Chain A
Amino acid sequence: MIRALGAIIGQTALLSWRGGGGAFIGLIFFLAVVTVVPFGLGPDLNLLSRIGPAILWIGALLAALLGVDRLFREDREDGSLDLLHLSGLPLELVVLAKGIGHWLATGLPLAVAAPILGLLLGVPPSALGAAVLTLLAGTPALTLIGTIGAALMAAFGRGGLLAAVLVLPFTIPVLIFGVSAASAMIVGPMPFLPPFLILCALSLIALVVAPIAGAAALRASLD
Chain B
Amino acid sequence: MRLTVSGLAAERGGRPVFSGLSFSAVSGELIAVSGPNGAGKSTLLRVVSGLLHPVSGSVRFDPPDEEPARLVHYVGHADALKPALSVAENLGFWRQVWRGTGLDPEAALDRMGLAHLASLPAGVLSAGQKRRVALARLLLARRPIWLLDEPATALDSAGQAGLGGLLSGHLATGGIALVATHQALPLPASQEVTLGKNS
Contact = CB atoms under 8 A, between A and B. Distances in A.
Are A and B bound to each other? Answer: yes
Contact of B96 (A7, A18, A85): A7
Interface stretch (A86-94, A151-159, A162-170, A188-196): A86-94
A150 B89 CA distance: 25
Interface stretch (A8-16, A116-124, A140-148): A8-16
B3 to A, nearest CB: 15
B51 A85 contact: yes
Interface residues of A, number: 26
A82 B76 contact: yes
Interface string B60-93: 0000000101101110111111111100000001
Given A4-B97, A4-B99, A86 B51 contact: yes
Contact of B80 (A3, A18, A83): A83
A222 B10 CA distance: 14
A78 interface: yes
Interface string A180-223: 00000000000000000000000000000000000000000011
B74 A82 contact: yes
Nearest to A14: B85
Given A18-B85, A83-B74, 14 more contacts: A1-B99, A4-B99, A19-B84, A78-B79, A78-B81, A79-B76, A79-B78, A79-B79, A80-B82, A82-B78, A85-B50, A86-B50, A223-B13, A223-B52
Interface of B: 12-13, 49-52, 67, 69-70, 72-74, 76-85, 93-94, 96-99
Interface of A: 1, 3-4, 6-8, 11, 14-15, 18-20, 77-80, 82-89, 222-223
